[in-house]
Structure 1
Amino acid sequence: MKSNMFIYFGSLFFLGCSTYMEQVVYKPAPATYQEWSKSGASTLDIKKSLLACGKPSPDISFEIYEKVFNISRYDEMAYMNKLALEGFCMERAGYKYNGLYNPKKTCSLEKYKNVPACQPDAVIPTPGVERRLNSWYCKIKTDYDYCLKNALAPQFCNPEEIKTPPPECLADGQAQSPRINGVRLH
């Protein structure tokens, strides 16, 4: 009887642990643009604002910072400075960061108090359309040669996709051409 109870409760315990692991531990981190919000802002608005504030891509991996800004993964202060500048720019544009560390919280940590972006006289960028359109992400999505030279995985550069860039890489007022299965209709 005791062994059956042990097996029963042991099974429940391991089932609970595996469910927790699946739902929490192994859950991928949200995309960068999913961690920002603003009343009335669409996903497209958020992506455009992130790029306009200097993010190289609306969904970041550290490798992009290394490639685009030549910030070594071991230069934590330079990386945090860039993230803080981008974050403060987004906050000034009216967005709220819903992730773990917003720029103010990061700058309040003793470790990052000397980061230039955390200083009272730091020059915080304002969102810029040119910055957005010339971002690494938009250049990868709109210029095939640039993509081949600068993409993290150039083998995935596709000259057909360049013809129909994502809406966040279009100038304001420029309509995206309709397409079916990635093929432009006109």
Structure 2
Amino acid sequence: MLEVQKALLECGLPHPNGDGLSPLTPNESAAFGRCMLDAGYTYKYGTSRMICAAQPSLNLPECRPDASVPLPDINRRLISGYCERKRSYAFCKQTAINPAACETMDFNNPPPECLP
């Protein structure tokens, strides 16, 4: 499970559980899906639900055959808003939906998906 959470963040998902403060744009969603597929992950319901197949009329740059496939990036994971909130009290207070929750977090021991 930890490796999947890392891959989700490394491919650009804002939160390893699929939710987050900033939803992906359609093009970001296409890039995320291609990144995860290229990293060796599969989708439970097949690729027909991916935005490139489900909504071809959007003509997204990431859906073009010649578009480069984004690679999982450890730096993308480590600097993600999710991991920043888990490691920095100040960042947590500035960006959390519920800033009071920051008071109970242990910023010296972030979750394993936010460690190098």
Match of 2:60 in 1: 115
Question: How do residues 140-151 of structure 1 correspond to structure 2 at under 5 angstroms?
Answer: 140-151=85-96
Structure 1 residues 79-122: Cα deviation after superposition (integer angstroms, max 9, x where no partner): 22111111110110101121x57477431234544012111122
List gaps (5 residues or longer) in structure 1: 1-42, 72-78, 172-186
Query: What is the alpha-carbon root mean square deviation over aligned residues?
Result: 2.3
Please say if residues 48 and 132 of structure 1, whose CA atoms lie closer than 8 Å, have aligned partners that are also in contact.
yes
Match of 1:45 in 2: 3
Change over 3 Å in CA distance of 1:156–1:112 after alignment to 2? farther
Change over 3 Å in CA distance of 1:51–1:108 after alignment to 2? same
Residue 33 of structure 2 aligns with an amino acid whose one-letter code is G
Number of positions where the alignment pairs a residue of Structure 1 with one of Structure 2: 116
Match of 2:40 in 1: 94
- Does 1 or 2 have the higher relative contact order (CA < 8 Å, sep 6+)? 2
Please say if residues 106 and 112 of structure 1, whose CA atoms lie closer than 8 Å, have aligned partners that are also in contact.
no
Please say if residues 48 and 54 of structure 2, whose CA atoms lie closer than 8 Å, have aligned partners that are also in contact.
no
Q: Is 1:60 equivalent to 2:18 in the alignment?
A: yes
CA–CA distance in 2 between the matches of 1:126 and 1:44?
A: 18
TM-score, normalising length: structure 1: 0.55
Match of 2:26 in 1: 80
Greater strand share, structure number: 1
Residue 10 of structure 2 aligns with an amino acid whose one-letter code is A
TM-score, normalising length: structure 2: 0.85
Match of 2:106 in 1: 161
Residue 109 of structure 2 aligns with an amino acid whose one-letter code is T
Larger radius of gyration: 1
Please say if residues 29 and 51 of structure 2, whose CA atoms lie closer than 8 Å, have aligned partners that are also in contact.
no
